[in-house]
């Protein structure tokens, strides 16, 4: 299969299997994922998140994380959910990543010590990095990380 990498225009040929697949991420997006494989979503309820940040050419990215109790339909009837806006800005000159969390909705669903991220994957046009972090989703907050 021929693959075209848009950022460089380089064409590569790769064999894709179930163990090796492609994922295209638009620059300027942030998303959270859980990396530990479990048998069910309820078993991974309190597993840590990994935050993936794909910078745009201006060194900015934004995304949202939706959280509800995972058990009931209260998100419909009582609007019992929280929405977290994750916005990132990279200062390439100072090598500092600023990450802002803005929590709206039912923040009671986000206890300070339960929902957290233990890693940031930063995808930048010039390089990619993994940062070990300890970041909690309980309140709106600003973080800065030295790269």
Domain ranges of the chain: 26-146
Q: What angle do CA 116, 120, 124 make, to 5 degrees?
A: 155
For 76-98, the pLDDT digits (tens) are: 888 888 899 999 999 988 889 99
Angstrom distance (rounded) from CA 73 to CA 13: 46
Burial class (CB in 10 A: 0-12, 13-18, 19+), 33: exposed
| Residue that the structure tokens 């800005």 belong to | 89
- Fold exhibited by the domain 26-146: Immunoglobulin-like (2.60.40)
For 2-44, the pLDDT digits (tens) are: 555 655 666 767 777 777 777 788 999 999 999 988 998 888 8
- Please state the pTM of the whole predicted model: 0.83
Q: Are 123 and 72 in contact (CB under 8 A)?
A: no
């Amino acid at each position: 299969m021929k693959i075209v990498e848009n950022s460089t225009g380089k064409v590569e040929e790769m064999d894709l299997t179930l163990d090796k697949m492609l994922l295209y991420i638009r620059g300027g997006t942030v998303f959270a994922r859980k990396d530990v494989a479990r048998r069910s979503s309820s078993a991974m309820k309190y597993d840590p998140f990994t935050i993936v940040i794909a910078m745009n050419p201006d060194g900015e990215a934004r995304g949202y994380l939706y959280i509800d109790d995972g058990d009931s339909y209260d998100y419909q009837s009582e609007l019992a959910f929280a929405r977290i806006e994750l916005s990132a800005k990279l200062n390439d000159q100072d090598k500092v990543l600023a990450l802002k969390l803005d929590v709206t909705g039912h923040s009671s669903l986000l206890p300070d010590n339960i929902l957290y991220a233990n890693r940031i994957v930063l995808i930048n046009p010039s390089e990619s990095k993994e940062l070990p972090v300890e970041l909690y989703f309980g309140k709106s907050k600003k973080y800065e990380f030295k790269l």
